[in-house]
Amino acid sequence: MSYYQPPEAIVKWDRGGGARQGVSITRLLEDGKQYVWRIPFNGVVTQAMAADVLGVSLMTINNWVNSGALMHIKLKGQPSVISLGEIKRVRKVLLDHGRLRRDALGR
């Protein structure tokens, strides 16, 4: 028995880099259409979107949030969100070290 596997998301960082760099996440839907999320440099993302941007599983993001390695914003009655700045910080650690290292987080 085979399970449906959604196609991988295509993550494209906007030009310019630095603090004002946003990101676009493109996903191919089952009907063949594309859906694009555009996150501005000062935006927030859900845990699922953070997993797409960082190229890890949703469970990994959830574990990082629960351990305090990934800072999130939690409002009562709402799902938690993660700032794009925090995603960029963690992405840099992942690119530099290949994994999330507490000593590299600067905390």
Instruction: Give the pLDDT confidence of 47-65 residue by residue, as tens digits.
Output: 988 988 888 889 999 999 9
At 30-47, the pLDDT tens digits run: 888 888 888 888 888 889
* C-alpha closest to that of 43 among 8, 65, 73: 73
Assess whether pLDDT exceeds 90 at residue 82. yes
pLDDT for res 28: 84
- Tokens 């906007």 sit on residue: 14
User: What is the rounded distance in angstroms from the CA atom of residue 73 to the CA atom of residue 51?
Assistant: 16
Domain ranges of the chain: 10-100
Range 10-100 has CATH code 1.10.10 = no
Residue type, 56: V
User: What is the rounded distance in angstroms from the CA atom of residue 105 to the CA atom of residue 99?
Assistant: 11
